[in-house]
Amino acid sequence: MESCPSIKNILLLDSDGKRVAVKYYTDDWPTLAAKLAFENSVYTKTHKTNARSEAEIIMFDNHIVVYKFIQDLHFFVTGGDEENELILATVLQGFFDAVGLLLRNNVDKRTALENLDLILLCLDEIVDGGIVLETEASVIAGKVATNSLDGSGSFSEQTISQALATAREHLARSLLK
């Protein structure tokens, strides 16, 4: 236990257990199959629980997983079984709140996928190679947002692209009807 607290993976799954964004930091799951199997067992063990108001926790296969749900998104942070559970929970909370800030509280799978670049940058800013980089949600979101906001007039451009996306979606729906 002399080692630095370390995070084994961070997962963002949807309400069917499918990947939205995931990031693995260790070799505990060397293959894609092993990763998917882990995600599947995490999902099946947790999806019936109510982790909406407070983060929940589960331990299995020598891993501790803390998790929290909102809308159709499931947030998970995994650590080893010797890890301080509260550190994992702090990382989870940082991730969860940062995503909330970045998506302006429209936290659901669709918005997350539309802003996948923000989610991926967010993961990149929280943990680096298993070591916790930052846990304060506003700082994480700030670091991610500088890119999209202070860029060349991205604000207006973003609204245009959002409008385009909405239009595209409406078109898709009307075509399918």
Partner 1 sequence: MAQPLVKKDDDGDDEMDYSPFLGIEKGAVLQEARAFHDPQLDARRCSQVITKLLYLLNQGETFTKVEATEVFFAVTKLFQSKDTGLRRMVYLIIKELSPSNDEVIIVTSSLMKDMNSKTDMYRANAIRVLCRITDGTLLTQIERYLKQAIVDKNPVVASAALVSGIHLLQTNPEIVKRWSNEVQEAVQSRAALVQFHALALLHQIRQNDRLAVSKLVTSLTKGSVRSPLAQCLLIRYTSQVIRETNNSQSGERPFFDFLESCLRHKAEMVIFEAARAITELTGVTNRELTPAITVLQLFLSSSKPVLRFAAVRTLNKVAMTHPLAVTNCNIDMESLISDQNRSIATLAITTLLKTGNESSVDRLMKQITNFMSDIADEFKIVVVEAIRSLCLKFPLKYRSLMNFLSNILREEGGFEYKKAIVDSIVILIRDIPDAKENGLIHLCEFIEDCEFTYLSTQILHFLGNEGPKTSDPSKYIRYIYNRVILENATVRAAAVSTLAKFGALVGSLKPRIFVLLRRCLFDIDDEVRDRATLYLNTLQGDDSIGETDNDVKEFLFGSLDVPLSNLETSLQNYEPSEEPFDISSVPKEVKSQPLTEKKAPGKVPTGLGAPISNPTPTVDAYEKLISSIPEFSSFGKLFKSSAPVELTEAETEYAVSVVKHIFDGHVVFQYNCTNTIPEQLLENVTVFVDASEAEEFSEVVLKPLRSLPYDSPGQTFVAFEKPEGVPAVGKFSNLLKFIVKEVDPATGEAEDEGVEDEYQLEDLEIVAADYILKVGVSNFRNAWESMDPDSERVDEYGLGARESLAEAVSAVINLLGMQPCEGTDVVPSNSRSHSCLLSGIFIGNVKVLVRLSFGIDGPKQVAMKLTVRSDDPAISDAIHEIVANG
Q: Is the separation of the CB atoms in 110 and 165 below 8 Å?
A: no
| Encoded tokens for 17 | 């257990």
Query: Which of helix, strand or coil describes residue 105?
Result: coil
Residue 70 binds partner 1, judged by CB under 8 A: no
Nearer to partner 1, 50 or 104 (CB): 50
d(CA 122, CA 125): 5
What would the x/- binding string for partner 1 be over residues 150 to 169, using CB under 8 A?
xxx-x--x---x---x---x
CA atoms within 13 A on the CB side of 156: 2
Contact positions toward partner 1, by CB under 8 A?
1-5, 18-19, 21-22, 32, 35-36, 49-50, 54-60, 66, 84-90, 109-110, 113-114, 116-117, 120-121, 124, 128-129, 131-135, 143, 146-148, 150-152, 154, 157, 161, 165, 169, 172-173, 176-177
